Structure 1
């Protein structure tokens, strides 16, 4: 039943009902965020493995072999990634006290430098006393613990992945048949799934490429734990716009503490050059057109969904916004006018969608 299309409902009442429904939906998602995060992560992993599944099928292997290989590769990758996170978190926690001491020494040097210009020593002491020297690095430890906790719910994640792989491998044409013979909505879902699959595969490739280059940069400049910061920068590449800066802060702080401002500026310049080149020249050509989301909506996705689903919402925010745009909004005539406002569609396509929604 389409509530917004019922006669006798005023526009104000329709907006009120839609708002109430959205609030209840978001509250439910926030309440069951742990399960929802696992489910969405399982979907993203299965879609990321689609090139492997296609390659195995082209070799005319039996379905059970394709299913077993896809499951084995994905599970081994998850176990290796979880082990790497645990090891890196332990290393980082062990080194954190030393970083705090270096930060305190840096603050004292800055105080002495300011006092050399005749500035108030008491004022600089008060500022230093109120400064938490670990603030710039504590969020990294929190992020690692959050990722470990998500991967730690391995039973739920593994079960979801198994059944999703079974559907993808053993029943590949079911949704296509539904789209052709039964429901136009199934066709919309099929198109959305294809676009989401392309987005995830491209982002995994770009994240791996950027993470590899950043790891080499961190290693050459002598920053501690270069592999950790490289992997983190590749993972944060899923967060549009602000993920770039989140990936820069921890290694920049460590470079400043260990080697001083010159090495930090050198490392930051290389990081900005690598990431800006990829994000401004390569990524827009591969991702934005397929996303069909405006930069503003991409940024809103990265900041809104973490409020609902926790830190993981920043990584899965763009796919969730794509789902909202392509499925409920673009299908319902009463809300179809909102879809062009969220997308990069212009010209006749955007005008036609807006006219259909207002009709």
Structure 2
């Protein structure tokens, strides 16, 4: 404790101490004469010390009260600062979304090109390991992407080209089906006047054929989009297929950001590959089912189900409605019901049960977050945003959530409950010493899928040895 100076003690405190001094000195004379002066001096010092302690005690109470008020003011200020920051973040998000909407014709194709290049990077690495020149490897990689895209778009447009003519041949059946439906509703005691008028305007065959013709024409006229996409793929391929120096710089300066971007690459690659492989399997089976049931334009509807497979949550519904309606008009309700039942069974069995067991959860987003991201990116980027909803959300998550240990806890609200619990138990969300990891897709040797396959092969060899023994 710092020494108390006489000037620090008020005069009234000093006077009170002097008044009590004779009594204390008189009491001290009961001791020895040799120690009287020391006792008197000690009494005086004691009196002055008590006065000083009382003053400092009062000042401390006042200071404590002031500190309490200051802390309350700080808490109030921090709460106000959070509200202001939230408003600033909302305003900034609105500005960014409006900007993306205005240039969505540019952002969508470029981001699609980036994710596709990241998806085929293992092909480039494989070619380099087999001593293929870098320029030839890049050219082959670009060619693979462009050929696949042109094949999907071209086949879809070609198969849908005869759709208006096919529908014209079903105009009488369609009209009869519509009238039978209205009669059935009237037999139930329902008024069908307004419903018949509204549905008649919407389900008019001329209107449907016009819309389908426009859609088919739009698919045929995607040349400008494909040109922009091809250029973006070409330049991104040249610039990003081999980036060891830049990767080392990012890893040395910001390891968390490096791991977040590397995990994004692995997740988006596995998402595209898994969606393509299993979507192709389901669409092929759907094609054979429609051929067995005699559905017209079976190839067109199979390609349609393949394209809508990339739309999360509602893609299956969008894919099954057109062939079911075609089966209803062509062969009746029984055929439409068969399509609904078989398509649902194939989708649930392959993509709902088999796919997660083989490749796991590549996306790692909850169903609600996926659906909201679908709506959000569809508004911002248009139809292409529905296909890019999951990759765009994964990219935003990697930049703003996964790149820092202080913000990584937000991921718990973006993933399913089981994933959040598992990652919390593994220490992913710890602030002091978080577990740092990089997501590996199944093209990597260290991926979870390939590790499981190696373990299964080992178990199979052991069983064979046991049988032989």
Shared fold (TM-score, shorter chain, > 0.5) = yes
- 1:346 equivalent in structure 2: 420
The CA deviation at 1:103 is: 2.2
In the alignment, which of 280, 305, 313 is matched to residue 233 of structure 1?
Answer: 305
Aligned twin of 1:66: 137
Question: Aligned-pair distance for 1:272?
Answer: 0.8
1:197 aligns with 2:269: yes
Kept in 2, the 8 Å contact 1:176–1:187? The answer is no
Cα distance between partner residues in 1 of 2:406 and 2:92: 15
Q: 1:177 to 1:139 in 2, by over 3 A?
A: farther
Change (3 A) 1:331 1:168: closer
Gap change, CA 1:324 and 1:304, over 3 Å in 2: same
Q: Which residue of 2 aligns with 1:158?
A: 230
Give distance in 1, aligned partners of 2:123 and 2:371: 31
The worse-fitting range, judged by mean Cα deviation, of 141-150 and 154-163 is 141-150
How many residue pairs were aligned? Answer: 347
Q: Any idea what SS the aligned residue of 2:96 has?
A: helix
Match of residue 32 from structure 1: 103
> Is residue 133 from structure 1 mapped to residue 133 from structure 2 by the alignment?
no
TM normalised by structure 1 equals: 0.85
Contact residue 302 and residue 313 of structure 1 kept, 8 A: yes
Task: Tell me, in whole angstroms, the C-alpha distance in 1 between the residues paired with 2:129 and 2:170.
Answer: 52
Aligned-residue RMSD, C-alpha? 3.0
Q: 1:47 to 1:159 in 2, by over 3 A?
A: same
Tell me the alpha carbon deviations over residues 285-331 of structure 1, each in whole angstroms, 9 at most, x when there is no partner: 45663212112211222222111111121111011111111211333
What is the aligned counterpart of 1:330 among 395, 402, 415? 402
Q: 1:12 to 1:99 in 2, by over 3 A?
A: farther
Conserved in 2, the CA contact under 8 Å of 1:255 and 1:263? yes
After superposition, the C-alpha distances for 1:88-142 in whole angstroms (9 at most, x for unaligned) are 3422233344445432220122344456x4857xx43543222122588987767
On the 8 A contact 1:199/1:290 being kept in 2, the answer is yes
Contact 2:161–2:216 under 8 Å retained in 1: no
1:313 and 2:385 equivalent? yes
Does structure 1 retain, via aligned residues, the 8 Å contact 2:113–2:233? Answer: yes
Distance in structure 1 (CA, Å) of the matches to 2:360 and 2:139: 34
Partner SS for 1:290: coil
**Which residue matches 2:342?**
270
Q: 1:248 and 1:294, CA in 2 relative to 1: closer, same or farther beyond 3 A?
A: same
Residue 192 of structure 2: aligned partner? 124
Deviations 1:236-264 (A, max 9, x none): 12222211111110000000000000111
**Change in CA separation of 1:215 and 1:44 when aligned onto 2, cut-off 3 Å:** farther
Distance in structure 2 (CA, Å) of the matches to 1:285 and 1:138: 44
Quick one: distance in 2 between partners of 1:97 and 1:72?
39
Cα separation, partners in 2 of 1:287 and 1:146, compared to 1, 3 Å: farther
Q: What is the SS of the residue equivalent to 2:140?
A: helix
How far is 1:51 from its partner? 4.2
Asked if 1 retains the 8 angstrom alpha-carbon contact of 2:328 and 2:335, the reply is yes
Q: Which of 347, 355, 378 matches 1:283?
A: 355
The alignment's TM-score, normalised by the length of structure 2, stands at 0.66
Q: Is the 8 A contact 1:52 1:70 kept in 2?
A: yes
Name 2:179's counterpart in structure 1: 108
Return the alpha-carbon distance in structure 2 between the equivalents of residues 287 and 137 of structure 1: 41
Q: Matched residues in 1 for 2:365 and 2:321: separation?
A: 27
Given that residues 320 and 340 in structure 2 are in contact (C-alpha distance below 8 angstroms), is that contact kept between their aligned partners in structure 1?
yes
Give the number of the structure whose alpha-carbon radius of gyration is greater. 2
Find the aligned partners of 2:234 and 2:400 in 1 and give their Cα distance. 28
Q: Shift of the alpha carbon at 1:151?
A: 5.2
Name the counterpart of 1:176: 247
Which range moves more in the overlay, 319-328 or 331-340? 331-340
The answer on 1:47 being equivalent to 2:118 is yes
CA contact (8 A) 1:99 1:254 kept: no
The farther-off stretch of 159-168 and 252-261 is: 159-168
- In the TM superposition, residue 189 of structure 1 has moved relative to its aligned partner by 1.3
